[in-house]
């Protein structure tokens, strides 16, 4: 059992840098073509501040804004929506 645990941990530690490198490469490519403002708090008309990520291409095109009162950088691939939907369905 100890050998299996050691093997699993070794494999995970070996693969972890490759995941970080892929994410960094994507961010570097995106920085080359777009202006990025991540997790900026924008004040709404009703006084509520929403966390906003803004991705604007360097050429003149419309911007897409995604606003949420939550820190959505903690969640990936829509997990937050799945959890919220499950909670709302249970109530």
For 6-23, the pLDDT digits (tens) are 555 655 555 555 444 555
Query: In angstroms, rounded to a whole number, what is the distance separating the alpha carbons of residues 64 and 79?
Result: 20
**In terms of Cα–Cα distance, which of 34, 30, 35, 72 is closest to 51?**
72
E strand or H helix at 64, and its extent? strand 64-68
Name every residue whose Cβ is closer than 8 Å to that of residue 25 and which is 6 or more positions away in sequence: none
Burial grade of 5 (CB within 10 A; 0-12, 13-18, 19 or more):
exposed
What pLDDT was estimated at residue 85? 45
What is the value of pTM for the model shown? 0.41
Which residue ranges make up each domain of the chain?
2-90
Residue ranges in the chain modelled with pLDDT below 70: 1-24, 63-91
């Amino acid at each position: 059992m100890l050998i299996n645990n050691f093997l699993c941990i070794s494999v995970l530690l070996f693969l972890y840098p490759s995941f970080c490198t892929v994410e960094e490469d994507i961010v570097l490519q995106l920085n080359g073509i777009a202006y990025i403002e991540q997790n900026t708090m924008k004040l709404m008309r009703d006084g509520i501040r929403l966390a906003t990520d803004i991705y604007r291409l360097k050429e003149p095109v419309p911007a897409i804004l995604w606003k949420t009162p939550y820190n959505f950088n903690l969640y990936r691939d829509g997990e937050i929506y799945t959890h919220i939907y499950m909670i709302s369905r249970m109530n």
